[in-house]
A and B are shown apart, each in its own frame.
Chain A
Protein backbone atom coordinates (compact mmCIF):
# COMPACT_ATOMS: atom_id res chain seq x y z
CA UNK A 1 0.00 0.00 0.00
CA UNK A 2 2.44 2.49 1.22
CA UNK A 3 4.90 1.68 -1.50
CA UNK A 4 2.56 3.15 -4.04
CA UNK A 5 3.36 6.72 -3.19
CA UNK A 6 6.57 6.24 -1.38
CA UNK A 7 9.65 7.46 -2.99
CA UNK A 8 12.62 6.61 -0.89
CA UNK A 9 14.95 9.62 -0.64
CA UNK A 10 18.56 9.31 -1.37
CA UNK A 11 20.20 11.56 1.17
CA UNK A 12 23.56 13.19 0.72
CA UNK A 13 25.71 14.14 3.59
CA UNK A 14 26.71 17.83 3.43
CA UNK A 15 29.21 19.49 5.74
CA UNK A 16 27.15 22.58 6.50
CA UNK A 17 28.41 23.98 9.79
CA UNK A 18 32.16 24.19 10.03
CA UNK A 19 33.87 23.72 13.36
CA UNK A 20 34.36 27.49 14.02
CA UNK A 21 30.66 28.06 13.41
CA UNK A 22 29.72 25.26 15.78
CA UNK A 23 32.14 26.50 18.35
CA UNK A 24 30.72 30.01 18.00
CA UNK A 25 27.21 28.69 18.36
CA UNK A 26 27.74 26.80 21.58
CA UNK A 27 29.95 29.39 23.18
CA UNK A 28 27.31 31.96 22.31
CA UNK A 29 24.58 29.79 23.80
CA UNK A 30 26.56 29.36 26.99
CA UNK A 31 27.43 33.00 27.51
CA UNK A 32 23.94 34.18 26.68
CA UNK A 33 22.51 31.86 29.31
CA UNK A 34 25.09 33.13 31.78
CA UNK A 35 24.40 36.73 30.86
CA UNK A 36 20.65 36.31 31.26
CA UNK A 37 20.87 34.56 34.62
CA UNK A 38 23.40 37.00 36.06
CA UNK A 39 21.58 39.89 34.41
CA UNK A 40 18.36 38.94 36.16
CA UNK A 41 20.15 38.68 39.46
CA UNK A 42 21.79 42.06 39.00
CA UNK A 43 18.47 43.64 38.10
CA UNK A 44 16.62 42.09 41.00
CA UNK A 45 18.82 40.29 43.51
CA UNK A 46 17.41 37.61 45.78
CA UNK A 47 16.79 38.29 49.41
CA UNK A 48 19.65 36.71 51.31
CA UNK A 49 19.75 36.36 55.03
CA UNK A 50 23.16 36.46 56.49
CA UNK A 51 24.93 37.29 59.67
CA UNK A 52 28.20 37.63 57.83
CA UNK A 53 29.86 40.95 57.58
CA UNK A 54 29.67 42.52 54.17
CA UNK A 55 33.43 42.40 53.92
CA UNK A 56 33.31 38.59 53.93
CA UNK A 57 30.82 38.23 51.14
CA UNK A 58 30.90 39.05 47.48
CA UNK A 59 27.68 37.63 46.09
CA UNK A 60 26.64 40.51 43.89
CA UNK A 61 30.26 41.08 43.08
CA UNK A 62 30.59 37.56 41.68
CA UNK A 63 27.41 37.82 39.66
CA UNK A 64 28.67 41.03 38.19
CA UNK A 65 32.08 39.54 37.56
CA UNK A 66 30.54 36.65 35.65
CA UNK A 67 28.31 39.03 33.77
CA UNK A 68 31.19 41.21 32.68
CA UNK A 69 33.46 38.27 31.85
CA UNK A 70 30.70 36.66 29.81
CA UNK A 71 30.10 39.99 28.12
CA UNK A 72 33.68 40.08 26.89
CA UNK A 73 33.42 36.52 25.57
CA UNK A 74 30.14 37.35 23.93
CA UNK A 75 31.55 40.42 22.26
CA UNK A 76 34.71 38.86 20.89
CA UNK A 77 32.90 35.72 19.88
CA UNK A 78 30.50 37.93 17.97
CA UNK A 79 33.39 39.75 16.28
CA UNK A 80 34.87 36.42 15.33
CA UNK A 81 31.60 35.32 13.80
CA UNK A 82 31.46 38.51 11.73
CA UNK A 83 34.95 37.69 10.49
CA UNK A 84 33.94 34.14 9.67
CA UNK A 85 31.08 35.57 7.62
CA UNK A 86 33.73 36.60 5.13
CA UNK A 87 36.09 33.63 5.21
CA UNK A 88 33.85 30.71 6.07
CA UNK A 89 31.93 28.41 3.76
CA UNK A 90 28.94 29.58 1.85
CA UNK A 91 26.53 28.64 4.62
CA UNK A 92 28.38 30.90 6.98
CA UNK A 93 28.73 33.71 4.48
CA UNK A 94 27.31 37.16 5.27
CA UNK A 95 25.19 36.96 2.16
CA UNK A 96 23.10 34.33 3.90
CA UNK A 97 21.85 37.00 6.27
CA UNK A 98 21.42 40.22 4.40
CA UNK A 99 18.56 40.42 1.95
CA UNK A 100 19.99 41.99 -1.14
CA UNK A 101 18.13 40.30 -3.93
CA UNK A 102 14.60 39.67 -5.01
CA UNK A 103 15.27 35.95 -4.77
CA UNK A 104 16.06 36.35 -1.08
CA UNK A 105 12.74 38.00 -0.46
CA UNK A 106 10.77 35.53 -2.53
CA UNK A 107 12.34 32.70 -0.59
CA UNK A 108 11.40 34.41 2.66
CA UNK A 109 7.86 34.68 1.45
CA UNK A 110 7.90 31.02 0.47
CA UNK A 111 9.15 29.96 3.91
CA UNK A 112 6.51 32.11 5.51
CA UNK A 113 3.76 30.48 3.49
CA UNK A 114 4.94 26.94 3.85
CA UNK A 115 6.43 26.74 7.34
CA UNK A 116 4.42 29.33 9.23
CA UNK A 117 1.04 29.54 7.54
CA UNK A 118 1.33 25.94 6.29
CA UNK A 119 -0.40 26.80 3.06
CA UNK A 120 -0.74 24.06 0.49
CA UNK A 121 0.02 24.18 -3.16
CA UNK A 122 -2.54 22.63 -5.49
CA UNK A 123 -4.08 21.05 -2.44
CA UNK A 124 -0.81 19.32 -1.59
CA UNK A 125 1.20 19.67 1.58
CA UNK A 126 4.72 20.74 0.93
CA UNK A 127 8.08 21.31 2.53
CA UNK A 128 10.50 24.08 1.96
CA UNK A 129 13.89 22.52 2.03
CA UNK A 130 17.13 24.42 2.05
CA UNK A 131 20.64 23.36 2.87
CA UNK A 132 21.96 25.95 5.30
CA UNK A 133 19.80 28.69 6.77
CA UNK A 134 16.62 29.32 4.89
CA UNK A 135 16.15 32.95 3.87
CA UNK A 136 13.74 33.69 6.70
CA UNK A 137 16.08 32.28 9.31
CA UNK A 138 18.99 34.16 7.77
CA UNK A 139 17.10 37.40 8.00
CA UNK A 140 16.12 36.80 11.62
CA UNK A 141 19.78 36.14 12.43
CA UNK A 142 20.56 39.40 10.72
CA UNK A 143 18.19 41.08 13.20
CA UNK A 144 19.81 39.24 16.10
CA UNK A 145 23.09 40.80 15.07
CA UNK A 146 21.46 44.15 15.68
CA UNK A 147 20.31 42.99 19.10
CA UNK A 148 23.88 41.82 19.76
CA UNK A 149 25.08 45.22 18.74
CA UNK A 150 22.60 47.02 21.00
CA UNK A 151 23.58 44.87 23.97
CA UNK A 152 27.28 45.39 23.35
CA UNK A 153 26.90 49.14 22.94
CA UNK A 154 24.65 49.69 25.95
CA UNK A 155 26.45 47.12 28.08
CA UNK A 156 29.94 48.41 27.50
CA UNK A 157 28.55 51.94 27.60
CA UNK A 158 27.35 51.34 31.15
CA UNK A 159 30.57 49.55 32.03
CA UNK A 160 32.81 52.27 30.58
CA UNK A 161 32.81 54.62 33.55
CA UNK A 162 33.83 51.89 35.98
CA UNK A 163 36.58 50.45 33.87
CA UNK A 164 40.16 51.50 33.70
CA UNK A 165 40.84 49.80 30.36
CA UNK A 166 40.72 51.79 27.17
CA UNK A 167 38.54 49.28 25.40
CA UNK A 168 35.27 49.75 27.34
CA UNK A 169 35.98 53.45 27.38
CA UNK A 170 35.49 53.41 23.63
CA UNK A 171 31.80 53.04 24.44
CA UNK A 172 31.57 55.94 26.87
CA UNK A 173 29.64 57.99 24.32
CA UNK A 174 26.69 55.61 24.40
CA UNK A 175 24.98 56.77 27.63
CA UNK A 176 25.46 60.35 26.50
CA UNK A 177 23.37 59.57 23.42
CA UNK A 178 20.54 58.33 25.61
CA UNK A 179 20.83 61.22 28.06
CA UNK A 180 22.32 59.14 30.86
CA UNK A 181 22.68 55.70 32.38
CA UNK A 182 19.04 55.28 33.32
CA UNK A 183 17.67 54.96 29.82
CA UNK A 184 20.76 53.08 28.67
CA UNK A 185 20.24 50.53 31.43
CA UNK A 186 16.59 50.17 30.52
CA UNK A 187 17.36 49.58 26.88
CA UNK A 188 19.92 46.99 27.94
CA UNK A 189 17.29 45.32 30.11
CA UNK A 190 14.51 45.41 27.50
CA UNK A 191 16.75 44.02 24.79
CA UNK A 192 17.53 41.03 26.98
CA UNK A 193 13.97 39.86 26.45
CA UNK A 194 14.64 39.62 22.74
CA UNK A 195 17.29 37.00 23.49
CA UNK A 196 14.96 35.01 25.71
CA UNK A 197 12.16 35.00 23.16
CA UNK A 198 14.60 34.27 20.37
CA UNK A 199 16.04 31.30 22.26
CA UNK A 200 12.62 29.78 22.87
CA UNK A 201 11.54 30.11 19.24
CA UNK A 202 14.93 29.01 17.97
CA UNK A 203 14.94 25.81 19.98
CA UNK A 204 11.40 25.04 18.97
CA UNK A 205 12.12 25.54 15.28
CA UNK A 206 15.16 23.30 15.42
CA UNK A 207 12.98 20.56 16.79
CA UNK A 208 10.32 21.39 14.24
CA UNK A 209 12.67 21.06 11.31
CA UNK A 210 14.22 17.94 12.68
CA UNK A 211 10.83 16.38 13.22
CA UNK A 212 9.13 17.46 10.02
CA UNK A 213 12.04 17.08 7.64
CA UNK A 214 14.09 14.35 9.26
CA UNK A 215 17.44 15.64 8.00
CA UNK A 216 19.43 15.78 11.21
CA UNK A 217 18.77 19.44 12.00
CA UNK A 218 19.53 19.05 15.69
CA UNK A 219 22.68 17.03 15.35
CA UNK A 220 24.03 19.27 12.61
CA UNK A 221 25.21 21.75 15.22
CA UNK A 222 27.09 18.91 16.84
CA UNK A 223 28.93 17.30 13.96
CA UNK A 224 28.28 19.85 11.29
CA UNK A 225 26.55 17.37 8.97
CA UNK A 226 23.14 17.72 7.41
CA UNK A 227 21.44 15.15 5.23
CA UNK A 228 20.16 16.62 2.05
CA UNK A 229 17.76 15.04 -0.42
CA UNK A 230 19.35 14.33 -3.80
CA UNK A 231 16.96 16.59 -5.68
CA UNK A 232 17.43 19.48 -3.27
CA UNK A 233 21.16 18.94 -3.45
CA UNK A 234 21.07 19.19 -7.21
CA UNK A 235 18.89 22.30 -7.07
CA UNK A 236 21.22 24.02 -4.64
CA UNK A 237 24.37 22.90 -6.25
CA UNK A 238 24.88 25.99 -8.28
CA UNK A 239 23.04 28.40 -6.12
CA UNK A 240 23.76 30.75 -3.34
CA UNK A 241 20.94 32.71 -1.74
CA UNK A 242 22.15 35.93 -3.30
CA UNK A 243 23.48 34.97 -6.70
CA UNK A 244 25.24 37.45 -8.85
CA UNK A 245 23.06 38.70 -11.62
CA UNK A 246 23.27 36.42 -14.56
Chain B
Protein backbone atom coordinates (compact mmCIF):
# COMPACT_ATOMS: atom_id res chain seq x y z
CA UNK B 1 0.00 0.00 0.00
CA UNK B 2 1.13 3.47 -0.74
CA UNK B 3 0.53 4.68 2.77
CA UNK B 4 2.83 2.26 4.53
CA UNK B 5 5.55 3.91 6.47
CA UNK B 6 8.65 2.00 5.67
CA UNK B 7 11.44 1.29 8.12
CA UNK B 8 14.81 2.80 7.37
CA UNK B 9 16.13 0.93 4.36
CA UNK B 10 19.09 -1.26 5.28
CA UNK B 11 21.85 -1.69 2.75
CA UNK B 12 22.58 -5.18 1.46
CA UNK B 13 25.55 -5.42 3.77
CA UNK B 14 23.51 -4.44 6.79
CA UNK B 15 20.89 -6.94 5.80
CA UNK B 16 23.47 -9.70 5.49
CA UNK B 17 25.00 -8.79 8.87
CA UNK B 18 21.60 -8.83 10.48
CA UNK B 19 21.07 -12.33 9.20
CA UNK B 20 24.30 -13.43 10.90
CA UNK B 21 26.72 -13.75 8.05
CA UNK B 22 30.27 -12.57 8.39
CA UNK B 23 31.94 -10.07 6.12
CA UNK B 24 33.93 -12.97 4.70
CA UNK B 25 30.70 -14.68 3.65
CA UNK B 26 29.53 -11.45 2.22
CA UNK B 27 32.64 -10.96 0.09
CA UNK B 28 32.41 -14.56 -1.05
CA UNK B 29 28.82 -14.02 -2.10
CA UNK B 30 29.80 -10.86 -3.93
CA UNK B 31 32.60 -12.56 -5.84
CA UNK B 32 30.20 -15.31 -6.86
CA UNK B 33 27.67 -12.80 -7.96
CA UNK B 34 30.29 -10.80 -9.82
CA UNK B 35 31.36 -13.87 -11.71
CA UNK B 36 27.77 -14.74 -12.33
CA UNK B 37 26.87 -11.47 -13.91
CA UNK B 38 29.95 -11.77 -16.04
CA UNK B 39 32.13 -9.03 -14.64
CA UNK B 40 35.90 -9.11 -14.43
CA UNK B 41 37.43 -10.12 -11.09
CA UNK B 42 38.67 -6.57 -10.74
CA UNK B 43 35.06 -5.43 -10.50
CA UNK B 44 34.47 -7.37 -7.26
CA UNK B 45 35.52 -4.42 -5.17
CA UNK B 46 33.05 -2.21 -6.93
CA UNK B 47 30.18 -4.59 -6.55
CA UNK B 48 31.00 -5.16 -2.89
CA UNK B 49 31.00 -1.46 -2.35
CA UNK B 50 27.84 -1.05 -4.33
CA UNK B 51 25.92 -3.51 -2.20
CA UNK B 52 27.43 -2.20 1.03
CA UNK B 53 26.64 1.41 0.42
CA UNK B 54 23.86 1.31 -2.06
CA UNK B 55 20.43 1.38 -0.47
CA UNK B 56 18.51 1.51 -3.72
CA UNK B 57 19.72 0.11 -7.00
CA UNK B 58 20.37 2.90 -9.51
CA UNK B 59 18.58 2.21 -12.76
CA UNK B 60 18.80 4.04 -16.07
CA UNK B 61 15.99 3.35 -18.51
CA UNK B 62 16.65 4.37 -22.09
CA UNK B 63 14.00 4.72 -24.78
CA UNK B 64 14.86 4.22 -28.43
CA UNK B 65 12.67 2.89 -31.25
CA UNK B 66 9.71 1.86 -29.16
CA UNK B 67 6.06 2.52 -28.53
CA UNK B 68 6.36 2.82 -24.71
CA UNK B 69 4.20 -0.27 -24.23
CA UNK B 70 6.96 -1.75 -22.06
CA UNK B 71 6.92 1.23 -19.70
CA UNK B 72 3.14 1.07 -19.66
CA UNK B 73 3.22 -2.62 -18.88
CA UNK B 74 5.79 -2.07 -16.15
CA UNK B 75 3.47 0.33 -14.34
CA UNK B 76 0.71 -2.29 -14.59
CA UNK B 77 2.60 -4.63 -12.29
CA UNK B 78 0.45 -5.63 -9.36
CA UNK B 79 3.05 -7.33 -7.24
CA UNK B 80 5.04 -5.49 -6.36
CA UNK B 81 3.19 -2.38 -7.34
CA UNK B 82 5.30 0.05 -9.23
CA UNK B 83 5.07 2.82 -6.61
CA UNK B 84 6.86 0.50 -4.18
CA UNK B 85 9.49 -0.38 -6.76
CA UNK B 86 10.16 3.26 -7.53
CA UNK B 87 10.15 4.51 -3.96
CA UNK B 88 11.68 1.61 -2.05
CA UNK B 89 13.54 -0.76 -4.32
CA UNK B 90 15.27 1.03 -7.12
CA UNK B 91 16.28 4.53 -7.95
CA UNK B 92 14.98 5.12 -11.45
CA UNK B 93 17.25 8.01 -12.25
CA UNK B 94 16.45 8.34 -15.91
CA UNK B 95 13.33 7.38 -17.83
CA UNK B 96 11.84 9.63 -20.42
CA UNK B 97 8.33 8.44 -19.68
CA UNK B 98 8.08 9.28 -15.99
CA UNK B 99 10.91 11.55 -14.93
CA UNK B 100 10.17 15.09 -13.85
CA UNK B 101 13.13 16.72 -15.55
CA UNK B 102 13.33 17.45 -19.25
CA UNK B 103 16.05 18.59 -21.61
CA UNK B 104 19.32 19.63 -19.98
CA UNK B 105 18.15 18.71 -16.52
CA UNK B 106 17.23 15.21 -17.72
CA UNK B 107 20.60 14.81 -19.41
CA UNK B 108 22.30 15.98 -16.23
CA UNK B 109 20.42 13.38 -14.19
CA UNK B 110 21.65 10.74 -16.62
CA UNK B 111 25.24 11.94 -16.45
CA UNK B 112 25.17 12.13 -12.65
CA UNK B 113 24.15 8.53 -12.30
CA UNK B 114 26.60 7.40 -14.93
CA UNK B 115 29.51 8.99 -13.10
CA UNK B 116 28.45 8.47 -9.54
CA UNK B 117 27.47 4.83 -9.93
CA UNK B 118 29.87 3.82 -12.67
CA UNK B 119 29.89 0.05 -12.97
CA UNK B 120 26.97 -0.32 -10.57
CA UNK B 121 23.85 0.83 -12.28
CA UNK B 122 21.48 -1.37 -14.19
CA UNK B 123 20.75 -0.22 -17.70
CA UNK B 124 17.28 -0.96 -18.99
CA UNK B 125 16.71 -0.49 -22.68
CA UNK B 126 13.27 -0.16 -24.22
CA UNK B 127 13.30 -0.15 -27.99
CA UNK B 128 15.63 -1.14 -30.76
CA UNK B 129 18.50 0.86 -32.19
CA UNK B 130 18.28 1.89 -35.85
CA UNK B 131 21.63 1.42 -37.54
CA UNK B 132 20.44 2.59 -40.99
CA UNK B 133 21.64 5.95 -42.36
CA UNK B 134 24.23 6.32 -39.58
CA UNK B 135 21.57 6.11 -36.90
CA UNK B 136 19.66 9.30 -37.71
CA UNK B 137 16.30 7.52 -37.45
CA UNK B 138 16.36 7.92 -33.70
CA UNK B 139 18.00 10.93 -32.09
CA UNK B 140 17.73 12.22 -28.53
CA UNK B 141 19.33 15.43 -27.39
CA UNK B 142 21.06 15.71 -30.74
CA UNK B 143 22.75 12.32 -30.44
CA UNK B 144 21.86 9.10 -32.17
CA UNK B 145 20.49 6.24 -30.12
CA UNK B 146 23.59 4.23 -30.98
CA UNK B 147 25.88 6.90 -29.55
CA UNK B 148 23.78 7.06 -26.40
CA UNK B 149 23.61 3.30 -25.96
CA UNK B 150 27.35 2.87 -26.34
CA UNK B 151 28.01 5.66 -23.90
CA UNK B 152 25.58 4.54 -21.21
CA UNK B 153 26.24 0.81 -21.45
CA UNK B 154 29.93 1.41 -20.79
CA UNK B 155 29.46 1.78 -17.03
CA UNK B 156 26.47 -0.54 -16.59
CA UNK B 157 26.73 -3.59 -14.35
CA UNK B 158 24.16 -5.41 -16.46
CA UNK B 159 21.66 -4.62 -19.17
CA UNK B 160 18.00 -5.52 -19.23
CA UNK B 161 16.56 -5.56 -22.75
CA UNK B 162 12.88 -4.83 -22.19
CA UNK B 163 10.41 -6.21 -24.65
CA UNK B 164 10.67 -7.61 -28.11
CA UNK B 165 12.12 -4.37 -29.54
CA UNK B 166 15.27 -4.48 -27.45
CA UNK B 167 15.42 -8.31 -27.41
CA UNK B 168 14.87 -9.02 -31.07
CA UNK B 169 13.86 -5.93 -32.98
CA UNK B 170 10.07 -6.37 -32.95
CA UNK B 171 7.80 -4.64 -35.45
CA UNK B 172 10.20 -2.10 -36.90
CA UNK B 173 12.65 -4.86 -37.73
CA UNK B 174 10.00 -6.86 -39.58
CA UNK B 175 10.75 -7.19 -43.26
CA UNK B 176 12.06 -5.11 -44.94
CA UNK B 177 13.41 -3.50 -41.73
CA UNK B 178 13.68 -0.09 -43.40
CA UNK B 179 15.51 1.65 -40.56
CA UNK B 180 17.94 -1.17 -39.79
CA UNK B 181 16.35 -1.67 -36.36
CA UNK B 182 18.76 -3.76 -34.29
CA UNK B 183 18.34 -5.46 -30.91
CA UNK B 184 20.70 -4.63 -28.08
CA UNK B 185 22.62 -7.89 -27.90
CA UNK B 186 23.82 -7.42 -31.46
CA UNK B 187 25.41 -4.11 -30.51
CA UNK B 188 26.68 -4.53 -26.96
CA UNK B 189 28.86 -7.59 -26.55
CA UNK B 190 30.75 -7.03 -23.33
CA UNK B 191 27.91 -6.88 -20.78
CA UNK B 192 25.53 -9.44 -19.36
CA UNK B 193 22.21 -8.89 -21.11
CA UNK B 194 18.89 -10.13 -19.77
CA UNK B 195 16.31 -10.34 -22.52
CA UNK B 196 12.72 -9.92 -21.43
CA UNK B 197 10.84 -10.34 -24.70
CA UNK B 198 7.15 -9.78 -25.30
CA UNK B 199 5.14 -7.03 -26.89
CA UNK B 200 5.01 -5.89 -24.18
CA UNK B 201 6.30 -8.32 -21.52
CA UNK B 202 3.85 -9.02 -18.71
CA UNK B 203 4.08 -6.27 -16.09
CA UNK B 204 4.61 -8.72 -13.23
CA UNK B 205 7.36 -10.42 -15.22
CA UNK B 206 9.15 -7.11 -15.69
CA UNK B 207 8.85 -6.30 -12.03
CA UNK B 208 9.81 -9.92 -11.29
CA UNK B 209 13.11 -9.64 -13.13
CA UNK B 210 14.07 -6.60 -11.09
CA UNK B 211 12.84 -8.11 -7.86
CA UNK B 212 14.76 -11.30 -8.61
CA UNK B 213 17.93 -9.28 -8.92
CA UNK B 214 17.24 -7.47 -5.67
CA UNK B 215 16.01 -10.46 -3.69
CA UNK B 216 18.58 -13.04 -4.69
CA UNK B 217 21.39 -10.61 -5.42
CA UNK B 218 22.11 -11.91 -8.88
CA UNK B 219 20.63 -11.83 -12.30
CA UNK B 220 18.18 -14.65 -12.91
CA UNK B 221 19.37 -17.77 -14.63
CA UNK B 222 19.04 -17.35 -18.37
CA UNK B 223 18.15 -19.83 -21.08
CA UNK B 224 20.05 -20.27 -24.31
CA UNK B 225 18.41 -17.22 -25.82
CA UNK B 226 19.26 -15.04 -22.85
CA UNK B 227 15.77 -15.03 -21.31
CA UNK B 228 15.18 -15.57 -17.58
CA UNK B 229 14.17 -19.19 -17.09
CA UNK B 230 11.92 -18.06 -14.28
CA UNK B 231 9.46 -16.71 -16.83
CA UNK B 232 10.35 -18.09 -20.23
CA UNK B 233 11.04 -21.77 -19.65
CA UNK B 234 7.60 -23.02 -20.72
CA UNK B 235 5.57 -22.76 -23.86
CA UNK B 236 2.30 -20.91 -23.55
CA UNK B 237 0.83 -24.09 -25.01
CA UNK B 238 2.21 -26.31 -22.27
CA UNK B 239 0.74 -24.16 -19.55
CA UNK B 240 -2.52 -23.34 -21.32
CA UNK B 241 -5.77 -24.23 -19.64
CA UNK B 242 -7.22 -25.11 -23.05
CA UNK B 243 -4.53 -27.72 -23.62
CA UNK B 244 -6.89 -30.66 -22.91
CA UNK B 245 -8.98 -29.61 -25.90
CA UNK B 246 -5.87 -29.70 -28.03
CA UNK B 247 -4.98 -33.18 -26.89
CA UNK B 248 -8.56 -34.23 -27.46
CA UNK B 249 -8.52 -32.85 -30.99
CA UNK B 250 -11.30 -30.35 -30.29
CA UNK B 251 -10.71 -27.01 -31.97
CA UNK B 252 -12.31 -23.67 -32.67
CA UNK B 253 -12.92 -23.63 -36.43
CA UNK B 254 -13.84 -19.96 -36.80
CA UNK B 255 -14.26 -17.15 -34.30
CA UNK B 256 -17.54 -16.93 -32.44
CA UNK B 257 -18.60 -20.43 -33.52
CA UNK B 258 -20.06 -23.00 -31.14
CA UNK B 259 -16.61 -24.32 -30.36
CA UNK B 260 -15.36 -20.84 -29.54
CA UNK B 261 -18.19 -20.43 -27.09
CA UNK B 262 -17.20 -23.74 -25.52
CA UNK B 263 -13.64 -22.55 -25.14
CA UNK B 264 -12.00 -25.15 -27.36
CA UNK B 265 -8.39 -24.92 -28.43
CA UNK B 266 -7.52 -22.01 -30.76
CA UNK B 267 -4.77 -23.93 -32.55
CA UNK B 268 -6.55 -24.01 -35.90
CA UNK B 269 -7.28 -20.29 -35.95
CA UNK B 270 -3.58 -19.63 -35.74
CA UNK B 271 -2.59 -19.87 -32.10
CA UNK B 272 1.19 -19.58 -31.79
CA UNK B 273 1.14 -20.83 -28.20
CA UNK B 274 2.84 -24.10 -29.19
CA UNK B 275 5.96 -22.25 -30.24
CA UNK B 276 5.94 -19.35 -27.82
CA UNK B 277 7.82 -19.26 -24.55
CA UNK B 278 6.20 -16.96 -22.05
CA UNK B 279 4.43 -16.91 -18.71
CA UNK B 280 1.01 -15.90 -20.09
CA UNK B 281 -0.71 -19.17 -19.21
CA UNK B 282 0.56 -19.10 -15.63
CA UNK B 283 1.14 -15.51 -14.54
CA UNK B 284 -1.52 -14.17 -16.93
CA UNK B 285 -2.00 -10.48 -17.58
CA UNK B 286 -2.98 -7.46 -15.57
CA UNK B 287 -2.86 -8.98 -12.15
CA UNK B 288 -3.96 -12.40 -13.35
CA UNK B 289 -7.17 -11.15 -14.94
CA UNK B 290 -6.90 -12.98 -18.24
CA UNK B 291 -4.55 -13.68 -21.13
CA UNK B 292 -5.16 -13.62 -24.88
CA UNK B 293 -6.27 -17.24 -25.19
CA UNK B 294 -8.62 -16.97 -22.24
CA UNK B 295 -10.22 -14.01 -23.97
CA UNK B 296 -10.73 -16.04 -27.13
CA UNK B 297 -7.92 -14.71 -29.29
CA UNK B 298 -5.05 -16.89 -30.46
CA UNK B 299 -1.58 -16.14 -29.15
CA UNK B 300 0.34 -14.19 -31.79
CA UNK B 301 3.68 -15.26 -30.36
CA UNK B 302 4.74 -11.75 -29.40
CA UNK B 303 7.69 -12.86 -27.29
CA UNK B 304 9.29 -14.91 -30.05
CA UNK B 305 11.95 -13.62 -32.38
CA UNK B 306 10.59 -12.46 -35.75
CA UNK B 307 7.02 -13.25 -34.82
CA UNK B 308 5.88 -10.61 -37.29
CA UNK B 309 7.44 -12.46 -40.19
CA UNK B 310 6.73 -16.03 -39.14
CA UNK B 311 3.43 -16.51 -40.88
CA UNK B 312 0.03 -14.92 -40.60
CA UNK B 313 -1.65 -14.59 -37.23
CA UNK B 314 -4.82 -16.49 -38.11
CA UNK B 315 -3.25 -19.45 -39.85
CA UNK B 316 -1.22 -22.44 -38.88
CA UNK B 317 0.38 -22.52 -42.31
CA UNK B 318 4.03 -21.68 -42.41
CA UNK B 319 4.68 -18.78 -44.70
CA UNK B 320 7.76 -18.51 -46.83
CA UNK B 321 9.28 -15.15 -46.17
CA UNK B 322 9.63 -13.25 -49.39
CA UNK B 323 7.17 -15.38 -51.34
CA UNK B 324 4.09 -13.33 -50.51
CA UNK B 325 1.48 -14.27 -48.00
CA UNK B 326 -0.22 -17.01 -50.01
CA UNK B 327 2.86 -19.10 -50.42
CA UNK B 328 2.87 -21.29 -47.41
CA UNK B 329 4.92 -24.45 -47.36
CA UNK B 330 2.01 -26.71 -48.19
CA UNK B 331 0.99 -24.71 -51.24
CA UNK B 332 4.49 -24.85 -52.60
CA UNK B 333 4.71 -28.50 -51.61
CA UNK B 334 1.57 -29.31 -53.55
CA UNK B 335 2.84 -27.41 -56.57
CA UNK B 336 6.13 -29.30 -56.38
CA UNK B 337 4.20 -32.54 -56.07
CA UNK B 338 2.17 -31.84 -59.18
CA UNK B 339 5.34 -30.75 -60.96
CA UNK B 340 7.01 -33.99 -59.99
CA UNK B 341 4.02 -35.97 -61.22
CA UNK B 342 4.11 -34.21 -64.56
CA UNK B 343 7.85 -34.72 -64.83
CA UNK B 344 7.44 -38.42 -64.04
CA UNK B 345 4.71 -38.84 -66.63
CA UNK B 346 6.88 -37.06 -69.16
CA UNK B 347 9.84 -39.22 -68.30
CA UNK B 348 7.77 -42.37 -68.51
CA UNK B 349 6.55 -41.43 -71.97
CA UNK B 350 10.03 -40.40 -73.06
CA UNK B 351 11.36 -43.71 -71.78
CA UNK B 352 8.96 -45.69 -73.90
CA UNK B 353 10.01 -43.69 -76.95
CA UNK B 354 13.68 -43.08 -76.27
CA UNK B 355 14.43 -46.58 -75.09
CA UNK B 356 11.92 -48.36 -77.27
CA UNK B 357 14.57 -50.46 -78.95
CA UNK B 358 16.00 -51.61 -75.65
CA UNK B 359 12.63 -52.37 -74.18
CA UNK B 360 11.61 -54.14 -77.32
CA UNK B 361 14.81 -56.13 -77.15
CA UNK B 362 14.03 -57.25 -73.64
CA UNK B 363 10.56 -58.26 -74.65
CA UNK B 364 11.90 -60.23 -77.58
CA UNK B 365 14.42 -61.84 -75.29
CA UNK B 366 11.68 -62.79 -72.91
CA UNK B 367 9.44 -64.12 -75.61
CA UNK B 368 12.25 -66.11 -77.07
CA UNK B 369 13.02 -67.70 -73.77
CA UNK B 370 9.37 -68.42 -73.28
CA UNK B 371 9.26 -69.99 -76.71
CA UNK B 372 12.32 -72.06 -75.97
CA UNK B 373 10.75 -73.33 -72.80
CA UNK B 374 7.66 -74.45 -74.58
CA UNK B 375 9.45 -76.09 -77.43
Taking beta carbons and an 8 Å cutoff, which residues of A are in contact with B?
Answer: 2-3, 5-6, 8-9, 43-48, 50, 52, 54-61, 63-64, 116, 118, 120, 125-127, 158, 161-162, 172-173, 176, 179-186, 189-190, 192-193, 196-197, 200-201, 204, 208, 211-214
Contact = CB atoms under 8 A, between A and B. Distances in A.
Contacts of B32: none
Given A45-B268, A47-B251, A118 B351 contact: yes
A50 B329 contact: no
Contact of B275 (A64, A185, A212, A214): A185
Interface stretch (B19-27, B135-143, B155-163, B335-343): B335-343
A59 B351 CA distance: 46
Chain A interface helix/strand/loop/mixed:
helix
B275 A55 contact: no
Nearest to B263: A54
A46 B358 CA distance: 49
A197 B310 contact: no
A186 B337 contact: no
Given A181-B275, A182-B272, A45 B364 contact: no
A233 B275 CA distance: 54
Interface residues of B, number: 62
Nearest to A188: B318
Contacts of B172: none
Given A54-B245, A182-B301, A200-B341, A162 B224 contact: no
Contacts of A212: 351, 355, 358-359, 362
B337 to A, nearest CB: 7
B344 interface: yes
B304 interface: yes
A75 B347 CA distance: 33
B357 interface: yes
A1 B367 CA distance: 13
Contact of A214 (B247, B316, B318, B366): B366
Nearest to A179: B305
Interface in B335-375: 336-337, 340-341, 344, 347-348, 350-351, 354-359, 361-362, 364-369
Contacts of B367: 2
B310 A47 contact: no
Contact of B224 (A52, A176, A192): A176
B225 interface: yes
A169 B79 CA distance: 34
Contacts of A179: 168, 225, 304-306
B322 interface: no
Interface in B164-197: 168
Given A50-B250, A60-B248, A6 B306 contact: no
A154 B136 CA distance: 40
Nearest to A200: B340
Nearest to A61: B247
B250 A180 contact: no
Interface in B251-279: 251, 253, 264, 267-268, 272, 274-277
16 contacts: A2-B367, A8-B365, A50-B250, A54-B245, A55-B248, A61-B249, A63-B249, A125-B354, A125-B357, A161-B233, A162-B235, A162-B238, A182-B301, A186-B329, A200-B337, A201-B340
Contacts of B332: 193
